[in-house]
Amino acid sequence: MKTFNWIPTECAPKDYPVQLVQAHFKGPDGESFKMATGKTVSKGWGKMGTIYMSGDEYKPAPVGAHLIWYSFVEDLFYKIDMSWEASMAEELLSTPYISPVDNGMKNFETIMLAIGPGGIVNVWLYGEQVVLEMASGEGETYDMPWEDFMPSTSVSRKEYQLIKLSEVMDEERARQLIDTAVPRERYAVDMRKRYPYDYQILGEQRAISAHTRFISGEREYVHFQKNKGALISERAVPESCILEWAEGPTEYVANIQFDESETARALDILAENGGKSIQLQFELRAAEPRLSIALSDDESFVQLEAAKLLVRKKN
């Protein structure tokens, strides 16, 4: 059986921290690859959580995951049992990606469970500033007796909820979140909606790379000179991008912050046209303004005027 050097971790949004009660990845022959439990997970969506090293360094690709967790803001327990094709996990762990850190070829060595409000769980391959979704699911509320969760304390459920939330945010913010419906649809639908678009570079300049963060939490690095490096054909709405190009000996870098509503609306319009040949278009120029951004297909063109750009010389 093929084995890989990978480790498990987890994350949750800062506003919606959780505590894992049971957590492990499932191996193809019934193995259990344990994760850390009992700690508050709150560093942020896509932020590396606890690294729990157990068992062999090299192990088979996981075929599923089991989770029970407590959602502090919702005051609910959730449970999920996930499964996916072993061949898919093996292929993704075997497929190298280009690292934006040093432009070297790397393999994914971390598998992250991203736990969102409303029982949402995404399974991400997590590399050097590259994040790729492998699977997703929705947990069901789970009726766990409080004394089983906290067997040796006199602290009430409400007290524990506020104590733990106050450790990661101020009490006023905690109470505000408790009294507000959680944004389940955003994590389950809006952030994960995908469109079949690719990158297109216009102009005489030499495009080098694009490092894109998506609202889903995924991140992609495409090196135009070495190879496309793209591991995905459908992408979520872009949140930000670092674009690099050269004009003669001078290299430029642009920090781009997309306007989510404008970009999502443009992608929806193009998808309604049939969703064929959609391009996230970067037009490079020799004079100011050096960069403009649009979304287009064979029939339509939408300028992304609300995107914020900061262009500077790299060297």
Q: Are residues 9 and 102 in the same domain?
A: yes
Any bridge partners for residue 244, and if so which?
209, 253
Instruction: Residue 224: name the closest of 241, 242, 244 by CA.
Output: 244
Going by pLDDT thresholds of 50, 70 and 90, the confidence category of residue 273 is confident
Q: Which of 141, 171, 206 is the last residue of a domain?
A: 141
- Percentage of the chain modeled with pLDDT above 70: 98
Mean pLDDT computed over 49-66 = 88
pLDDT at 286: 83
Give me the sign of the Cα torsion angle 102, 103, 107, 108: positive
Strand partners, 253: 244, 312
In which domain, by residue range, is 217 found? 193-313
Does 110 fall in a domain? yes
Distance CA 122, CA 42 (A): 16
CB 293 within 8 A of CB 281: yes
- Residue 159: its H or E element: helix 157-168
Separation of alpha carbons 300 and 271, rounded Å = 11
pLDDT 10s digits, 185-198: 999 999 999 999 99
**Does residue 113 sit in the same domain as residue 224?**
no
What pLDDT is stored for residue 288 in this prediction? 86
Q: Are residues 221 and 296 in the same domain?
A: yes
Pick the last residue of a domain from 141, 174, 207: 141
Tokens of 45: 């969506």
In a domain, 26, yes or no: yes
Asked if 105 and 212 sit in the same domain, the reply is no
- Supply 51's token pair: 């690294």
- Residue 247 in domain: yes
Q: Do 305 and 208 fall into the same domain?
A: yes
Mind giving me the DSSP string for 7-50?
EEEEE--TTS-EEEEEEEEEPTTS-EEE---SSEE-S-TT----
228 pLDDT band, cuts 50/70/90, is low
Domain assignment present for residue 188? The answer is: no
Task: State whether 81 and 200 are in the same domain.
Answer: no
Do 29 and 115 share a domain, yes or no? Answer: yes
Note whether residue 121 is domain-resident. Answer: yes
Number of neighbours of residue 283 by Cβ within 10 angstroms:
16
Q: How far apart are CA 72 and CA 70, in angstroms?
A: 6
Residue-wise pLDDT for 209-219, tens only, equals 999 999 999 99
Q: Which of 315, 280, 314 is nearest to 297 (CA)?
A: 280
Could you tell me if 78 and 84 are in contact, meaning their C-beta atoms sit under 8 angstroms apart? Answer: no
Residue 165 lies in a domain: no
Q: How far is CA 38 from CA 50, 137, 146, in A?
A: 11, 22, 14
How many domains in the chain?
2
Q: What is the per-residue pLDDT for 152?
A: 79
Q: What's the pTM value of the predicted model, to 2 decimals?
A: 0.94
Instruction: Supply φ then ψ for residue 170, to 5 degrees.
Output: -75, 155
Picking from 122, 141, 160, the residue at the C-terminal end of a domain is 141
pLDDT of residue 276: 78
User: Do 233 and 130 belong to one domain?
Assistant: no
Q: What is the pLDDT of residues 67-116, one digit of tens each?
A: 999 999 999 999 999 999 989 999 999 999 999 999 999 999 999 999 99
Q: What is the pLDDT of residues 130-178, one digit of tens each?
A: 999 999 999 999 999 999 999 877 889 999 999 999 999 999 999 999 9
Same domain, 107 and 44: yes
Chain center to CA of 226: 25
**Position 203 in a domain:** yes
Q: What are phi and psi of 151, to 5 degrees?
A: -75, -20
Q: Which two tokens stand for residue 204?
A: 């005489």
- Both 94 and 201 in one domain: the answer is no
Domain harbouring 17, CATH code: 2.60.40
